Structure 1
Amino acid sequence: MPSRRLDSRKPCVLIVGAGLAGLCAAVTLAEAGQRCLLLEREPEAGGLARSLTLDGVTFDYGPHVLFEEDSPGGRLLVDILEDGPVISRRFAFAIQAGGRHFAFPNHFDVLRYPWRYQREILAGLLGPRRPGDDSARGELSAKTGPGLYALLFAGMLRKKSALDGDALHRHWLLRPGRTVHGDLEPLPRQSKLATLFGIITRLRRRYLYPAGGFGQLPDRLLARFTRAGGRSMLGCGPIAFSREADHIRAVTVGGQRIAVDQAIWTGPMDRLQQALGLGGAPAPRFEDILLVFLTYDCPRPPRRPFVYVYHPDPEIIFNRSSYPASIFNGLGPSGREGICLEITPGAVPGHHCIDDLVRRAIADVERLGLHPTARLREKKALLLPSALPVYDLGYAARMTAARRDIRAVGNLLSVGRLGGWHFCMSPEAADQGIKAARAVLAKSCGRRDP
């Protein structure tokens, strides 16, 4: 339902998609005095930053945690976070392989690695990188050595992205920033010594997390947008653009035609191509994500030192397990534990229905010794279509071609994880929205200047 009425005859700034990119764009514009309309096809805001409750356990569409980042998006999210209670703990995740958990980000656990792996890591940190190899395998092998790559990362990349490391572009790992037009921002150049120092400083890094679940962030952003005078329509249904030459002049939603001055799109890029009638444009590559939420009887609080654990073993159906008990640090309901399992269906050989994948996942939880199936309390599966941007080695040329016709629309920007085909974390998604908002404001100021 609309948050407030908007005169449909006066052109507004249209924002499509109420994930973090769209919400941060909307807040920035509304607080700058722009007339804004925010559209979201889902009945609630948040996109991939939402939370849900199952059997009293709070789960995220994630997991997600925040780190303090010196960027506009990072600062805005931390500012929003401070509107309520915050959990802060030292961050750690792990990769389970070879009969043990390998802890990251490079805790002193590395000193317990077999000497072969320690020697290869040192050689990678201090030695030159092989030029001309843009693959994820080349990037990781140069840093960790071939032994650890084969043990930890080869299977993890394949199960997560549905591509082998040889076919996956290293930008998928490095996640460089992008402009509002999708152009790469330069990666920071660091000496080997600076890289080593960065690894050491991250050993004690703490995360920040809203005590009511990550979904509180988009809820608070939406409330802030509304207080600034913005209008939102959640569960808006289909939309249609009216174009004249190289501009979007209006959007039709819910039977109402609303004049548009400028537009920011943060939904899936392929849907924008369809909305603009760009049938021949190259389609960006996205993979579906299946999240399986489980709760188990658990009389004693489990020890979960890791926020999440990757599972490169091809015999385990899920690529990652995450633990609300770790994030909440014992603040969840007693007598039960929640586990979230992440599956990339496109990486599973053969055709499988969701029920089959869920059954296999539950069996693998028991196989890993996490919980016996007999203690299962509740389960819920959630398919997120086209939620994971993936970069193969030829992605850059396809991205340029896919964006060419979009850039030809003079008052339209397509940004964010989905709208920009931009694999990124939450602060960068927020940055994308703020960059787009600032571009809109700069254009508006330019028109007003004499």
Structure 2
Amino acid sequence: MRNVYDVLLERGFIEQTTHEKEIRELLEKEKISFYIGFDPTADSLHVGHFVTVMAMAHMQQAGHRPIALFGGGTAMIGDPTGKSDMRKMMTVETIDHNVECFKKQMSRFISFDDDKALMVNNADWLRDLNYIEFLRDIGVHFSVNRMLTFECYKQRLERGLTFLEFNYMLMQSYDFLELYRRYNCKLQLGGNDQWANILGGVELVRKLHGDQSFGMTFSLLTNSEGKKMGKTENGAVWLDPEKTSPYDFYQYWRNVGDADVKRCLSLLTFIPMDEIETITNVEGAAINTAKERLAFEVTKIVHGEEEAVKAQTAAKALFMGGAHGGSIPTTEMSQADFAEGMDILTLLQNTKLVPSRSEGRRLVTQGGVKLDGTAVTDPAAMITVDSFKENELLIQKGKKVFHKVIIA
């Protein structure tokens, strides 16, 4: 079996390492425990998390043991990395609920049977810490001067960095120490924005145990212009089908830029690299075949093959002019809702296609809305029961977003 380090490198995951040669040798000679942390700031993982989840899956396939660390403790503080303002504080109940949601989702991607992987919550050791002891035992090993040289803190100093957030690096470093002590965890993985926090943990293990531990970061999911992927007009692209439908999820990947297809196939699917090279080394419209493959494969991993087939069928039906195939996002309403007519702006809001009436008005007047293929340009247009064909109405927003309304 190939060294998983080379697999991750070839597919474009690896951005930085603390000790490249030693990590490569370690992954070649031993089956190690490694961890990735996930702060439960929402009740679902999103596609930004999915890059690290796929890295975990590759590592597990190579025989290494993943530890999915959920931040039931660190989420109470908030990581200042990449944030312009302090994160909104969440209640313990919200955090614990989010952790349970993460656990269910993670089980779809990683096998936790027979001790092949672990789920751990840092609330187990962080929430009941004795602050004085923590400062004496852990805080003494961190230089404030050095911490302030890291970009994650430098960016916030001008706008204001709270002492609360300043503790985050110590807490994440302590996580690595605890996992090393409890499970002989030797490697921490994370997004490239976690480099400073990972370094803190690596150095803490070395200082307190004289043992070598390692860190490795992955590229963030960005497009060819360097902008973060995974955002739409309606917010993040979630892995929870209740927050982002399988159809919308499929369509997001189907519509990525031509220059981003190869990178997304490499990071977000298990398709062999030689096959990826073949299907992306094309010109013009031929790249659409690779985009369809990308959308299908990622949707299959996240939502299962049945939902991927439904989404693909729906997308093809719409492309061919059909309105009723597959798993198009659907809203069910009653005939009474349209008895006296519903204006188009209200309909767009009720189906969550626009966040506000002003946005809906702009969209309509610019010709961005169609009902069953016919453009609607009057913001005062009324939708009645007679507007429905066989109790269904297909709304098209722009070129790529479709939504079906059914009345009962």
Q: What's the TM-score, normalizing by structure 1?
A: 0.21
Q: Which has the larger radius of gyration?
A: 2
Structure with greater strand percent: 1
Higher relative contact order structure (alpha carbons within 8 Å, sequence separation ≥ 6): 1
